[in-house]
Structure 1
Amino acid sequence: MGKDAIPKNWPPTVPYLSQPSFAPHITKTQLQALRVCSPDLTASIPANFPRGPCPLVRIILIGDPSHPARGQAGLFAARHLEPGTLIVPYYGIIHSSLPPHSLDHEKSDYDLWLNREVNIAVDAEKAGNEARFVNDYRGVRERPNAEFKLCWDARSGQQCTVAVAVFVLPSGKNAPTKAGAGGIAKGAEILVSYGKGFWSKRKEENEASVER
């Protein structure tokens, strides 16, 4: 992969993925589960959605002293994004969430569920794409303007057909970015809610660290 196939400001120590990477311990049963389209998957990645660096986003270092992620990177809109728009798939290492394999991922802040029934998750800590830079909205704006959604990947040749992707929140769920408009404005940071589970786990880890 050439340098032109890696986004600007991508960290040199993290491999860039244009498709998911599967841990060697993933079983045939788990792979088959990811190829079953559930009626609950109302969103999809179209067959013609391109791989590689996403033209809709930019990775930018955050310098705002009031931002909770100051000194780290965030994901920003390269153009105005309409409500409901698919922004970018979430790529990482697809792995089992059962011990002993889960031990390599239990402290990761980049680990998302793919299928709880067969214990499969995707972790973008050690390899991923632009979606790994999406920050939580808390301390930045009143509410999120995007969301993580399980979806169906319709692209041919894609071994994993169930995926996670980042979407702009639909109309009515996001405060307008300008008079009469929704979506995400050009230059605005793309922000999701990590959920109560993430912050509860973070609180437990901090308390455990203090006790030591």
Structure 2
Amino acid sequence: MSSRAKQPKNWPSDILFINSQRFHSSVTATARAFVQGPPNQTKTHAADTLAKTPSAVVIRRITELSHPACGQFGLFASKKIPPRTYLIDYIGEIHCDDRPHSDYDISLHRFQDGVYIASDASTMGNEARFVNDYRGVRQKPNVEFRDRRTESGELRMSVWSLTEPVKKGEELVVSYGKAWWQARLACSEPEEEPEDIKVQC
């Protein structure tokens, strides 16, 4: 897909909208080849078909005062979403360097020699960068991150619904995981707790 697609409604002006992954100079030839992968010789995955249909997600500014991300943005269902359904890929800048201060960095793969590949959407990305953590929003997540290979063979992180349907208008929230919160706490004041911190993702 072209990386010059029309940006979605409510997209922030200071972030570059892209719908195909960009590669940072830190990505080695071996890592790039691993991400790009060989063409998928199996039957086209349902996710590739859904990726070509109108998006099931929309970006909205959060106005509820009780929401941990009030005043920021979130990702919402634009229609009813069935269980275990592919929603969107997490698109960002693929890199192999260390970015401890990015709140939009998702790991894609770690090699046995310690080299890791991640996708960072802090300065460029797509709608998936606005998926917030469920803490303070819902009792549990309603979507999850899951890696996949596209029809062309490219490795991507993607967003999928969980075991229950998602109603139209509901915010899509994941669990960032303990490692993410521990990393954020390392850069925060000692008195702050994970449940009280909300860094938009």
Q: Which string of whole-angstrom CA distances, capped at 9 and with x for unpartnered residues, describes residues 178-210 of structure 1?
A: xxxx31100000000000001111112113799
Q: Does 1:112 align with 2:140?
A: no
Structure 2 Cα separation of the partners of residues 140 and 5 of structure 1: 30
Which residue of the partner structure matches residue 10 of structure 1? 11
Which residue of the partner structure matches residue 197 of structure 2? none
> How many correspondences in the alignment?
182
Q: Equivalent residue of 1:30, what SS?
A: helix
Q: Equivalent residue of 1:74, what SS?
A: strand
CA contact (8 A) 1:45 1:152 kept: no
Which residue of the partner structure matches residue 77 of structure 2? 77
Which residue of the partner structure matches residue 176 of structure 1? none
Which amino acid in structure 2 is aligned with residue 57 of structure 1?
V
Q: Which string of whole-angstrom CA distances, capped at 9 and with x for unpartnered residues, describes residues 140-165 of structure 1?
A: 110000000011111x4xxx711100
Shift of 1:123: 0.3
Which residue of the partner structure matches residue 158 of structure 2? 165
CA contact (8 A) 1:111 1:124 kept: yes
Q: Equivalent residue of 1:89, what SS?
A: strand
Structure 2 Cα separation of the partners of residues 88 and 114 of structure 1: 16
Which residue of the partner structure matches residue 57 of structure 2? 57
Structure 2 Cα separation of the partners of residues 205 and 24 of structure 1: 26
CA contact (8 A) 2:5 2:18 kept: no
Alignment TM-score, normalising by the size of structure 2: 0.82
Alignment TM-score, normalising by the size of structure 1: 0.78
| Equivalent in 173, 176, 194 of residue 194 of structure 1 | 176
Shift of 1:24: 2.2
Which residue of the partner structure matches residue 42 of structure 2? none
Q: Where do 5+ consecutive residues of structure 1 fail to align?
A: 38-42, 172-181
Q: Does 1:149 align with 2:150?
A: no
- Shift >4 Å, 4+ stretches: none
Shift of 1:63: 0.6
Q: RMSD across aligned C-alpha pairs, in angstroms?
A: 2.6
Q: Where do 5+ consecutive residues of structure 2 fail to align?
A: 40-44, 193-201
CA gap 1:47/1:24 in 2 versus in 1, 3 angstroms: farther
Which residue of the partner structure matches residue 89 of structure 1? 89
CA gap 1:4/1:19 in 2 versus in 1, 3 angstroms: closer
